[in-house]
Every structure is written in C-alpha cells, then in structure tokens.
Amino acid sequence: MTAIPPAPADAPVLGLLDGRPLPRTGLDRRLAALRTGPRASALPRPGSGEDRQLARWVAQVLLTEALCEAVAAERGLSVLPEAAHDRLDQQAAVELGSVTAAAYEGSAAVRAVHEAVTAAVAPTAEEVAHYFAMTRPAATPTVWHLAFPDGGTCEADPATLPLALAEALRTAAPDTWVTAGGWTAARRTTPPDPPTDRPGRPDQPGRPDRPDPAATVLAAVRRAAFVRWLDHARATRLTLVPGLEHPGDPAQPDNHHRH
C-alpha cells in the first residue's frame, strides 16, 4: 500500500485528508486511463458538464481510497498491494453506493477496512427471520403428469390446458382416458420415467431445502454498517475543494437535480 504524499503548496489539489492537501495528479492519471480504456466511447464529451461530473465522481473514489489507506495504516491492517480486484454483485454494489462500490472493488485497503470495522457486526434473529419471510418462494404450482395415446407424456399446470380437457381430467379417475375439445389424455398417478434419450438428467424428487439466509443477511448488515462508518469518516476527515465537490451536491453548478 502506497500512501498519497501531500501536494506541494502551489499544486492543484484533489482534496484534503485531515487538513493535508492531496495532489490532483492521481485524478488526472485515472481520468486519462479511462479515456484510453475499452469503454472510452461511452464517456461524456471532454469539457462538458457530464465530463466535470465524471471528474467529481472519480475524485470521490480516490478520496475514499486515500481515507481507507490512512485508516489501514493507523490500525496496522494487513493490505496486500497485489491483491486482486473484488467484483461485487449488483445488490452489494447498490447497497454500498456507486462511489464506495468502485473504491471497494479497486482498493485492497478499502476491503481491509471494511472487514475491520464490521468484524463485530451481526444480524439480529429478527432481521434473519424478516429476510426469510420476505424471500420465501411462492407455493409450488399444481402439476399433472399426463399421458397421450401416441405414447407421449408431459407435465402441465392444469391452468395451462384447454379448459374442457382440464375439467374432464379433473373429474375423471386417475389413469382414465378422457376426450374433450378434440384432445385425448389421461392423468397419471405417478410421474413418467425420465426420457432415455437425455443422458445425465438427474431425477428431481423434490426441491432442496432453502440455504440458510444468515450469511446473506450478515453481508448486507455489514455493508450497511460500513456505509454509516464511512459517511462519518468522510465528514470528519475529508475536505472537498471547489470543482471536485460530490457530484450529487445540489450546490455545485453541474448538478441537474437541483430543486
């Protein structure tokens, strides 16, 4: 891990960390890399308001990384400079927010601080129960095992069958041929054997038990705790500079969502 050195007195600044100016050179390098990267065509036109917003966003990512590098050094955390990037799934990225998610994916220091500050965080039994209740799958639909005169078989939800055929099968005894609406079929009492022309297809006697949701809830509550901690750390240790305000700041001139 390499800490960002202080900026010379007359150099452009990225922002201040604990009152210490950080040089803007890292931002210029990051923006240049984006401009020459594989997604360059998707970036806004240089000099436009959207381009300035991109610079503000990247600045917040770099400031988050610098803050976490300082915290990691203060706490003596082990940070491997060669650690691979950690890709977040969509839900995790949304929960962290775009700036923090980008910093988390690209900085081993951010990931180390996340682990350290959330190590003691755990979900309550009520949170786990609520998650389980909210994600419980819908009831398994009714499935009929049907046979046809030509030897064919299939599984079908009765609601998807022609109405006349479904009514006839519902009132007929199992394994009894019925004809209705031009269709002839029988509702079998046992599922047909798996097709022999599809090797390797496993039997499916039933759905497996749902995985324990505790790990999913644990990760979510730790992300929420990290966001709260990071918001406080940013507010108390970082100072933004004109031109590199947070892109969502309603006071800066390129924010189009002012009310």
Q: What are the pLDDT digits (tens) for 52-74?
A: 999 999 999 999 999 999 999 99
What are the pLDDT digits (tens) for 84-135? 667 899 999 999 999 999 999 999 999 999 999 999 999 998 888 888 888 8
> Going residue by residue through the chain (259 aa), what tens digit of pLDDT does each one get?
445 555 555 568 999 999 999 999 999 999 999 999 998 999 999 999 999 999 999 999 999 999 999 999 999 999 876 656 678 999 999 999 999 999 999 999 999 999 999 999 999 988 888 888 888 776 667 889 999 988 888 898 888 899 999 999 999 998 999 999 888 999 998 765 554 444 433 333 334 455 567 888 999 999 999 999 999 999 999 999 999 999 998 888 888 754 4
* CA 114 – CA 226 distance, rounded (Å): 6
Please, are residues 146 and 162 in contact by the beta-carbon 8 Å criterion?
no
Q: Which residues contact 27 (CB under 8 A, 6 or more apart)?
A: 14, 55, 58, 59, 62, 244
For the whole model, what pTM was predicted? 0.68
CA distances from 11 to 4, 6, 33, 59 (A): 14, 10, 21, 16
Q: Which pLDDT belongs to residue 204?
A: 38
